[in-house]
Amino acid sequence: MATIRDIAQKSGFSIATVSRVLNNDINLSVREDTREKIKAIAEDMGYKKKQGITQLNNVAFLYWISNEEELEDVFFKGIRTELEKQAEQRKIELIRYNQEDGIEKIDKNITAFIAIGKLTDREIKYLEEITPHGVFLNTRRDPRNFDYVLSDLNFMIESMIQFFEGCGYERIGFIGAKDYDVETNEPIAELRETAFRNYQRERNKLREDDVLIVPVSTVKNGFNIALQAIEKMGNDLPEAFCVATDPLAIGALQAFNEKLIPIPERVAFFSINNISVTKYVSPPLTTFHIDISTICETALDLLTERLTKNRTIAKTVYVQSKAIFRKSTPSK
Q: Any idea what DSSP says for residue 46?
A: T
Q: Which CATH class is domain 53-151+293-319?
A: alpha beta
> Greater confidence, 23 or 277?
277
- Percent of the chain past pLDDT 70, that is, above it, reads 95
Asked if 1-45 and 153-289 have one fold, the answer is no
pLDDT of residue 142: 67
Computed over every residue of the chain, the mean pLDDT equals 90
pLDDT band at 230; cut points 50, 70, 90: very high
pLDDT of residue 29: 72
| CA 271 – CA 88 distance, rounded (Å) | 32
pLDDT band at 67; cut points 50, 70, 90: confident
pLDDT of residue 93: 82
Are the C-beta atoms of 166 and 158 separated by less than 8 Å?
Answer: no
CATH architecture of 153-289: 3-Layer(aba) Sandwich (3.40)
Which CATH superfamily, name and number, covers 1-45? Answer: lambda repressor-like DNA-binding domains (1.10.260.40)
Domain boundaries, the chain: 1-45, 53-151+293-319, 153-289
Is pLDDT of 225 > 50? yes
78-87 own/partner pairs: CB under 8 Å, 24+ apart? 78/292, 79/116, 79/137, 79/138, 79/292, 79/295, 79/296, 80/116, 82/292, 82/293, 82/296, 83/114, 83/116, 83/137, 83/296, 83/299, 83/300, 86/293, 86/296, 86/297, 86/300, 87/59, 87/61, 87/300
pLDDT band at 204; cut points 50, 70, 90: very high
- Per-residue pLDDT tens over the stretch 233-286: 999 999 999 999 999 999 999 999 999 999 999 999 999 999 999 999 999 999
Please state, in angstroms and as integers, the Cα–Cα distance from residue 275 to each residue in 85, 105, 287, 297, following that order.
19, 33, 9, 20
Q: Does the predicted model carry a pTM greater than 0.85? A: no
Is pLDDT of 25 > 70? no
- The mean-pLDDT minimum among 46-55, 172-181, 202-211 falls in 46-55
Is pLDDT of 52 > 50? no
Is pLDDT of 54 > 50? no
